[in-house]
Amino acid sequence: MDTALLIEKLVLVVLLFLVSLGIAAYSTYFERKLAAWIQDRVGPDRAGPFGILQPIADGVKMFMKEDFTPKNADRWLFILGPGIAMFTALITSSIVPWGTDLYLFGRTIVLQVADFNIGILFVFGTISIGVYGIMIGGWASNNKYSLYGAIRASSQMISYELAMGISAITIIMMSGSLGLTDIVKSQHGMNWNIFYQPVCFLVFFICALAETNRAPFDLPECESELIGGYHTEYSSMKLGLFLFAEYVSMFVSAAIISILFFGGYNFPGMDHFSGNTLALLSVLVFFAKIFFFIFVIMWIRWTIPRFRFDQLMHLGWKVLIPIAIINLMLTGIVIAFHEGWFLN
């Protein structure tokens, strides 16, 4: 194993970890600010100038609170739940290509921790494991509301994973590869998938909202009926991990959406730059896209009320999956036509 490669990847991993957590922390702040603006309020403004230290104050509060475990809870699963939720949320970012290659110290540094050739499958795998965090947490709490939240989370996951997977297959067919790097490279410049697959994007985006348990699909939490759902019994930093995992996965899903449909780090006119300038610019562009999608996801949360559970199932099974399948078949026919299948 090349030592320099090891160091380079290690730096990238640590950097990614810190950036993910930092962005997740400031997403909580920005979410509260945005909610306030949309409701004609001011929002948090006491901790530091414009309340900029609010996430730190929240973190300190979370750590200082009593860490309570219910008497009849399954102790180990109770601890495992938030851990799984946080772990899977963080690990997905390892295969995201953050920018074009960087040239430093005579080496070519790939801004991606690991380029699996099964990239997109890995994303789906980790996201599916992510729901185990919620399920185990809800089950271990030994509480009706928590169990309801957990059941809702798992059934919602099953329903929406399908439509999401089918719309992802459409993109895989377009680019001809499962690897995220290839998918991004096939959208060079302004050749983004959104212009070819707007319906697919819509389905994928709605499913991504459902997968990250964001409003209007936040039924597993559902404060008004389930008292917080799967994290009803949680307190202190365990609760913090659950809430944090949601924001980390929101960050990651915003990244995945920009990779699949909005060209990842590609931007129009990128051929005029080269080398490290291009690398820096591409990272900036990618983060701009990610922040935009985080903003949109929050914007939707503060606009649309929560679905009823049967409406959720109806939307998932009877609307999104048929649309995704029809879209997949149409895309297949068009691709086959392009390859010249029907010509002779």
Partner 1 sequence: MESLTNRKRVVSDKPMTFLEKLYLPAIWGGMFITLKHIFKKNHTIKYPEEQRVFAPVYRGMHVLKRDEEGRENCTACGLCAVACPAEAITMVAEERKKGEEHLYREEKYAASYEINMLRCIFCGLCEEACPKEAVFLTDRIVPTEFDRNDFIYDKSVLVEPINDRIDITKRQNTGKRGVI
Binding stretches for partner 1 (CB under 8 A)? 34, 36-42, 45, 202, 299-300, 302-304
**CB contact set of 275 (below 8 Å; sequence gap of 6+):** 103
Cβ of residue 235: shortest distance to partner 1, in angstroms? 27
Cβ of residue 38: shortest distance to partner 1, in angstroms? 5
* In the block, residue with structure tokens 């983060």: 287
Give whichever of 80 and 296 is closer to partner 1, judged by the CB atom. Answer: 296
Cβ of residue 42: shortest distance to partner 1, in angstroms? 5
Picking from 306, 317, 327, the residue whose alpha carbon sits closest to that of residue 216 is 306
Give whichever of 34 and 184 is closer to partner 1, judged by the CB atom. Answer: 34
Cβ of residue 295: shortest distance to partner 1, in angstroms? 10
Cβ of residue 315: shortest distance to partner 1, in angstroms? 9
* Amino acid at position 5, single letter: L
- Characterize 215-240 residue by residue with b for buried, 16 or more Cβ atoms within 10 angstroms of its Cβ, and e for exposed: bbbbbbbbeeebbbbbbbbbebbbbb
Give whichever of 270 and 312 is closer to partner 1, judged by the CB atom. Answer: 312
Angle, helices 236-261 vs 119-140, to 10°: value is: 160
Give whichever of 37 and 76 is closer to partner 1, judged by the CB atom. Answer: 37
**CB contact set of 203 (below 8 Å; sequence gap of 6+):** 163, 164, 166, 167, 320, 323, 324, 327
Q: How is residue 208 written in tokens?
A: 């991504």
Give whichever of 116 and 295 is closer to partner 1, judged by the CB atom. Answer: 295
**C-beta separation of 134 from 149 below 8 A:** yes
Distance CA 272, CA 131 (A): 43
Cβ of residue 145: shortest distance to partner 1, in angstroms? 29
- Characterize 11-44 residue by residue with b for buried, 16 or more Cβ atoms within 10 angstroms of its Cβ, and e for exposed: ebeeebeeebbebbbbbbbbbbbbebeeeeeebb
Distance CA 85, CA 80 (A): 9
Give whichever of 273 and 302 is closer to partner 1, judged by the CB atom. Answer: 302
Beta strand pairing call for 102-104 and 107-109? antiparallel
* Amino acid at position 78, single letter: F
Cβ of residue 299: shortest distance to partner 1, in angstroms? 6
**CB contact set of 282 (below 8 Å; sequence gap of 6+):** 99, 100, 265, 266, 267, 270
Provide DSSP, 72-90.
TS-HHHHHHHHHHHHHHHH
Give whichever of 203 and 256 is closer to partner 1, judged by the CB atom. Answer: 203
Give whichever of 39 and 344 is closer to partner 1, judged by the CB atom. Answer: 39
Give whichever of 39 and 72 is closer to partner 1, judged by the CB atom. Answer: 39
Cβ of residue 37: shortest distance to partner 1, in angstroms? 4
Cβ of residue 40: shortest distance to partner 1, in angstroms? 5
